[in-house]
Structure 1
Amino acid sequence: MSLNPWARNPWFETVHEAQRRAKQHLPKSVYSSLVAGTQAGVTLDDNMNAFSQLRFSPHVVGVQPDRELSTSVMGQELPLPVMISPTGVQAVDPDGEVAVARAAAARGTAMGLSNFASRPIEEVTAVNDKIFFQIYWLGSREEILERAMRAKDAGAKGLITTTDWVFNIGRDWGSPEIPESVNLKALVRLAPEIAVKPRYAMKWIRGGKVEIPDLTVPNLVPRGQRGPTFFGAYGQWMNTPPPTWEDLEWLRNKWDGPFMVKGISRVDDAKRAVDIGATALSVSNHGGNNLDGTPATIRVLGPIADTVGNDIEVLLDGGIRRGSDVVKALALGARAVMIGRAYLWGLGANGQAGVENVLDLLRMGIDECLMGLSRKSIHELTRDDLIIPDGFEMRLGD
């Protein structure tokens, strides 16, 4: 008897279904880490709910038979305006970031690889040549630059500096207790959760041996060395003074290649990103895992894109669950979007194939929206395609 209840029909029709299957498949602690937000989860909810307040204004005559979805981000040609956002250590699937990279490569798109990834960057760039390496400001300038240069040597095509993070006191909203390392004590505590998820447990058995998830972060040390535990690295991060704009400009000048600043929600910060010579910026609030109570990213996207969109590539990160969400972001000035939870749910539901499934759903949803709007290309999308309620958009800073 198969342990996979979806063996006959592994395809899922919506990202919501991917989430449902991931919840059924993953141990409670693992799944909870994929849905957690900060404090009351106000920003987490707004990231998703705000999209439903935007409506379409379609033309019904003149539907285009062929539609163009391709774009480019930081010098990389993409067949659809969706790329993988960097996320930290993954115990969702034994192949972790390598499985995600393969899925992105199979669909021709780019992937951001987290500083806190569980797989070395060399393994990830070996299966996808469109990798952007994400940097947290952790340690000394020399250590940060060493990590960046290792990524460049491994073939990373660009650098993403993440700034949208606050160190909250206490646990995040809905977040489980994650062990320092998966040792015997942790396995005993987690055993009841894993025992009721046999399909998840079986995926970690290879060659008759059980592979224990590794909660270390190998990309924070020179290649070949064992990285610190996730919480060891987190502690070092918390004790490193946050970067200034001067720090970011220094790193940008040291990095000879495309450079993204992730975490922008204010117009004045967007202008600063332009001033330091960044190639791109991501309008992001860390998926609702930053300062709770900040607006949904789609609410602040338009004013930022209107102000700096001719000077820098503008992306959006946060709340994307459907192809229609992507189209709404593009109509407000985004060049592309980055997805996080959506692909992690796909990974939890069906491994690499599940991530490909999510990307296919978004691509089909984008294409359907273009057809409904009678647009031939994503580059034709404008505000005229949307009905924007009064007070929806928020211009922060100036």
Structure 2
Amino acid sequence: MANAWFETVAEAHRRAKKRLPKGVYMALVGGSERGLTVDDNMNAFGELGFAPHIAGLSQTRDLSTRVMGQDLALPVMISPTGVQAVHPEGEVAVARAAAARGITMGLSSFASKSIEEVAAVNDKTFFQMYWVGTREVLLQRMERARAAGAKGLIMTTDWSFSMGRDWGSPMIPEKINLKAALAYGPQIALRPKYALQWAKSRTIPDLTTPNLAPAGGGPAPTFFGAYGEWYGTPLPTWEDIAWLREQWDGPFMLKGVMRVDDAKAARDAGVTAISVSNHGGNNLDATPASIRALPAIAEAVGNDIEVVLDGGIRRGSDVVKAVALGAKAVMIGRAYLWGLAANGQAGVENVIDILRGGIDSAVLGLGHSSIHDLSADDLIVPDGFTRSLGVTPAQKVVEAAVKSA
């Protein structure tokens, strides 16, 4: 299609909204409760300014980096997200797009496509796990991911299942049956292009979780069946996380860190990377934006483990701001889902290209030849912007004295 290309993530968002049934769209955009964290994740980037140069700029820029043992063409990673009912190819299309653009693919254990399908099209796939089930079951899932070719493991712990949303929670069926079809029928009738793409694929949205299928065989649980298993599983301790890390001999990320003390505990548990993340605002509402928590965490553990940021990335300039404040890379979620909804694999590639262009433009304007030259000196950080969570008052006094010395 001649007009399939879009020039901003905001345009991909508009097209996704126009194309998707209301319930599917609302499942993507909404955060928990009042949505304070969702808004702050994006608005916080707008509070940060740049200090650009105007001459002596570099003719070429190196945007590549290396995270969790994988070479990336730019400091962007695909964040794992749950069942992707926005497009028939779902995570497979996303993985192909990521491979085409030289970045890693994060696959959720709650994904609609299997680790085998996804790792087959992207050899830089990380498999994401929740603490769901017994240790034996966790090991079985891990071994399956290893056998499929996953290069790293992501353990997500920032998920409290706060379901209430002030603007209304979308109806998500247990499975696609006659009752669900009747309930969603009016919404789908208003989005004929969405219906047509599924009809052409001769499939229907799959709300099962193939990566959680029993090792001995049997049907995969539905999303809500998996939720029930999570709800019945005792929550992990730091000892549990250290144990799981010991079982995986490759790169291991702990996702959901927002406090300095938790970052240090993750380091002590042996992880190789952490994601500063508030689950995109879908966890505990009124948690500050992840970019606000990043500087203190990166300063505390950044020389010991790799730090990435997840939350609110909509532009290449957002990526640059995160890297300047201590992240090695960022993870994107809603942005690529909007691209997927707007134009499938090509739409995801389009989103990644938009981010690449914005990163390159910002690195150029800041007078650097590499993203590795970025620092907080390139930014205008207003007073009171950062949040040093998990730091005692006494530690804050010491930090302030060191900075002023």
Task: Give the TM-score of the pair, scaled to structure 1.
Answer: 0.96
User: How many angstroms does 1:170 deviate by?
Assistant: 4.0
**Aligned partner (choices 380, 383, 390) of residue 390 of structure 1:** 383
**Aligned partner (choices 56, 62, 67) of residue 56 of structure 2:** 62
Give the match for residue 394 of structure 2: none
Q: Distance in 2 between matches of 1:283 and 1:276?
A: 16
Where does structure 1 lack aligned partners over 5 or more consecutive residues?
1-6
Q: Distance in 1 between matches of 2:36 and 2:144?
A: 38
Give the match for residue 215 of structure 1: 207
User: How many angstroms does 1:73 deviate by?
Assistant: 1.1
Give the match for residue 337 of structure 2: 344
Q: Which amino acid aligns with 1:108?
A: G
**Aligned partner (choices 202, 214, 219) of residue 226 of structure 1:** 219
**Aligned partner (choices 161, 169, 183) of residue 167 of structure 1:** 161
Q: Distance in 2 between matches of 1:36 and 1:222?
A: 31
User: How many angstroms does 1:219 deviate by?
Assistant: 0.4
Q: Distance in 1 between matches of 2:184 and 2:163?
A: 24
User: How many angstroms does 1:189 deviate by?
Assistant: 1.1
**Aligned partner (choices 238, 243, 254) of residue 236 of structure 2:** 243
Residues 221, 228 of structure 1: alpha-carbon distance in 2 compared, 3 angstrom cutoff: same
**Aligned partner (choices 302, 311, 318) of residue 318 of structure 1:** 311
Specify the SS of the correspondent of 1:364: helix
Pairs within 5 Å for 1:172-183 = 174-183=168-177
User: How many angstroms does 1:349 deviate by?
Assistant: 0.5
Q: Which amino acid aligns with 2:268?
A: D
Q: Distance in 2 between matches of 1:109 and 1:172?
A: 36
Give the match for residue 145 of structure 2: 151
Give aligned-pair identity as a percent.
Answer: 68
Contact persistence 1:281–1:313 (CA under 8 A): yes
**Aligned partner (choices 133, 136, 140) of residue 142 of structure 1:** 136
Residues 172, 74 of structure 1: alpha-carbon distance in 2 compared, 3 angstrom cutoff: farther
Pairs within 5 Å for 1:333-372 = 333-372=326-365
Pairs within 5 Å for 1:41-190 = 41-168=35-162, 170=164, 174-190=168-184
Per-residue CA distance 1:159-196 (angstroms, 9 max, x = gap): 00001111325457543010010101100111111111
Pairs within 5 Å for 1:244-259 = 244-259=237-252
Specify the SS of the correspondent of 1:237: helix
Superposition CA RMSD, Å? 1.2
Residues 157, 384 of structure 1: alpha-carbon distance in 2 compared, 3 angstrom cutoff: same
Contact persistence 1:81–1:336 (CA under 8 A): yes
Residues 391, 104 of structure 1: alpha-carbon distance in 2 compared, 3 angstrom cutoff: same
Contact persistence 1:265–1:283 (CA under 8 A): yes
Residues 171, 229 of structure 1: alpha-carbon distance in 2 compared, 3 angstrom cutoff: farther
Specify the SS of the correspondent of 1:204: helix
Give the match for residue 375 of structure 1: 368
Q: Which amino acid aligns with 1:278?
A: V
Give the match for residue 298 of structure 1: 291
Residues 170, 394 of structure 1: alpha-carbon distance in 2 compared, 3 angstrom cutoff: closer
Where does structure 2 lack aligned partners over 5 or more consecutive residues?
392-405
Q: Distance in 1 between matches of 2:155 and 2:168?
A: 26
Q: Distance in 2 between matches of 1:349 and 1:169?
A: 27
> How many residues are paired up?
390
User: How many angstroms does 1:274 deviate by?
Assistant: 0.8
User: How many angstroms does 1:226 deviate by?
Assistant: 2.4
Q: Which amino acid aligns with 2:287?
A: T
Q: Distance in 2 between matches of 1:314 and 1:172?
A: 33
Contact persistence 1:37–1:173 (CA under 8 A): no
Task: Give the TM-score of the pair, scaled to structure 2.
Answer: 0.94
Q: Which amino acid aligns with 2:280?
A: G
